Amino acid sequence: MGALEGKTALVFGVANHNSIAWAITQKLAAEGVRLALTYQERMEQNVRKLAATLDQPLVLPCDVQSDADLDTTFARVGEEFGGLDILVHCVAFAPTEDLKGRVSRVSRAGFLTALDVSAYSLMAMAGRAEPLMQARGGGSVLALTYLGSERVVPGYNLMGVAKAALETAIRYLAWDLGPQNIRVNGISAGPLRTLSARGVGNINDMFTLVEQVAPLRRNIEQSNVGDVAAYLLSPAASAITGDIIYVDNGFHVMGLGAM
């Protein structure tokens, strides 16, 4: 057990054992955190199977595009936990045809869906988490992002636009919720072999490039993100908010490939 023992957490975005959300969940569980996990209908079996390896977490269905679902989820967490200390947002989506196509040809519907699921959902969750965190004297919110939010990553396309909106939301939420002692941060993780990564063009080339260019000359693992997440969500990071922390073996500092 660690500095987070006895805390409560709600995690959105677990899909399977390769999910970054699952790596974070495992780390929080090891720290003694009481957990609630949500699932999309098509992922229910996967999430329940993983949840069965934990100490009786609360498992709830939730479509983040549904206000009614979000209301129900946070109400249940409030009833079961008597408040909330930690909110983890690992949710992103863009229609395949808009993700792989040219940005100049993205459909209006695809754009709205990507921004709704990937960015607006964080704001919607944070607003519902606020009173639950106030009941616990404050809290911490964490979201996942990627370097494609600030630099052009061919193949990431529309998702880069959505992640840019997410990162801006993180900063504004940090300001908005700071007076309530609620911190909001993001982790910009390097590429990983996850379910969502399958929809990104040139993903295998990204892994090769990171190994060649990153200062540490290797790709990251899911557990690396879990470790940093646990730190950001803990009292040890009590003065950190509105930040994006890179977990990419230093790849983001490079301007050119290895010489």
Q: Which residues are catalytic?
A: 146, 156
Whether the Cβ atoms of residue 118 and residue 169 lie closer than 8 Å to each other: no
In the chain, what is the straight-line distance between the N-terminal and C-terminal CA atoms, in Å? 45
Q: How far apart are CA 191 and CA 146, in angstroms?
A: 8
